[in-house]
Chain A
């Protein structure tokens, strides 16, 4: 193949690409293309391969793309506004160390104060209400204690000891005469 022929082949293949891409060719280019292809087997083969590839590409189905995903895809593919991004574990730990150090410093400052100010935990109204509630609960507890005490007194002394006393008598020592207990037999 001569240098002139090689130059013609290059021009023809460039024109072939443009034609396959749908570009409009001038009449002179079309004439050159047809004349060259009629005599050059290599360029005919190249053209045939390009047409095969183009047909294969056109045969690939184009998937439909849901419109509502566009913003998400756009967000993932667009660069967006430049910002500080923590891309490495080391960077995250540096920031964590800084935050922790700051918390430690503030905590130390807080505890080192000569007299820490009391946190305002409740208003006067809240304290009054809480006092009522505390009085109520403590009263319930006191009431429960009192009931158990009464039950113990009634159950043990009145029913137990009292019943036993009813069945016996007490003899007083010394000058005092024996005094029968209520219900006793006076022995």
Chain B
């Protein structure tokens, strides 16, 4: 039988451990409403199909906001909690079919969770889905899923931006970010796959 002092000791120990780990938890904020796990798309097609993966957490985004020399980028990332992107190779037709279904399922799930579909465009072998998560007047998350099978390098692009996001500012600065259309993505020159 554990005595009362034994319970108190255990409580003190647990509190100490929680306190010690608090800074790390505060940086990741896994409960952010705009955070979407894109790894399920990888599971559909396999890790070998990942061409690029970018995952930036709160700490590195704060570092960018504080230390980058790009003022436009600084203003965009301020208030963001996570930036995640994934590019999957859909050269295998079976993978392409799975990815399409995965994108549909993910969209349906997000809508059930309160996300709004901002747009869905289907044209010439490509589809673009954009969903946003709002809280009051603020956009707290954005998901873009682009599937392009119209050329010889079919791919799925999944992007998730979590945190307080100004869509108008994002569109305004979009051209300045110098990112071409999906068909023109210079994938080999992009950052190598990694996680932070």
Cβ–Cβ contact A142 & B177, under 8 A = yes
Closest Cβ–Cβ distance, residue A20 to chain B (whole Å): 55
A99 partner, pick from B6, B8, B13, beta carbons under 8 A: B13
Cβ–Cβ contact B63 & A97, under 8 A = no
Cβ–Cβ contact A101 & B12, under 8 A = yes
Which chain A residues border B130 with CB–CB below 8 Å?
A: 144-145, 148
Closest Cβ–Cβ distance, residue A68 to chain B (whole Å): 40
Kindly report which residue of chain A lies nearest to residue B87, judged by CB atoms. A140
Cβ–Cβ contact B68 & A136, under 8 A = no
B128 CB within 8 Å of chain A: yes
Q: 4 tightest A-B contacts by CB? A: A139-B179, A142-B174, A103-B16, A148-B119
Which chain A residues border B68 with CB–CB below 8 Å?
A: 127-128, 131
A28 CB within 8 Å of chain B: no
Cβ–Cβ contact A144 & B159, under 8 A = yes
CA distance A93 to B85 in the complex (A): 46
A104-B19, A134-B56, A145-B170 given as contacts; is B12 within 8 A of A140 (CB)? no
Residue of A97, A134, A145, A146 contacting most chain B CB atoms (<10 Å):
A134
A103-B17, A151-B119, A151-B121 given as contacts; is B9 within 8 A of A136 (CB)? no
Which chain A residues border B144 with CB–CB below 8 Å?
A: 140-141, 144-145
Q: List 14 A-B contacts (CB under 8 A).
A: A119-B59, A127-B60, A128-B68, A129-B191, A134-B73, A134-B83, A135-B179, A137-B56, A138-B177, A141-B142, A141-B161, A144-B130, A147-B128, A151-B121
Kindly report which residue of chain A lies nearest to residue B11, judged by CB atoms. A100
- A-contact bits for B1-34, CB 8 A (1 contact / 0 none): 0110110111111111101101100000000000
A178 CB within 8 Å of chain B: no
Cβ–Cβ contact B174 & A100, under 8 A = no
B196 CB within 8 Å of chain A: yes
Cβ–Cβ contact B63 & A130, under 8 A = yes
- B-contact bits for A70-100, CB 8 A (1 contact / 0 none): 0000000000000000000110011011011
Residues of A within 8 A of B (CB): 89-90, 93-94, 96-97, 99-104, 106-107, 119, 121-122, 124, 126-149, 151-152
CA distance A140 to B185 in the complex (A): 10
- A-contact bits for B55-76, CB 8 A (1 contact / 0 none): 0100111111001101001001
Kindly report which residue of chain B lies nearest to residue A140, judged by CB atoms. B159
Residue of A107, A119, A133, A152 contacting most chain B CB atoms (<10 Å):
A133
Which chain A residues border B70 with CB–CB below 8 Å?
A: 131, 135
- A-contact bits for B63-100, CB 8 A (1 contact / 0 none): 11001101001001100000111000000000000000
Kindly report which residue of chain A lies nearest to residue B23, judged by CB atoms. A119
Which chain A residues border B178 with CB–CB below 8 Å?
A: 135, 139
A145 partner, pick from B15, B120, B174, beta carbons under 8 A: B174
Which chain A residues border B54 with CB–CB below 8 Å?
A: 133, 136-137
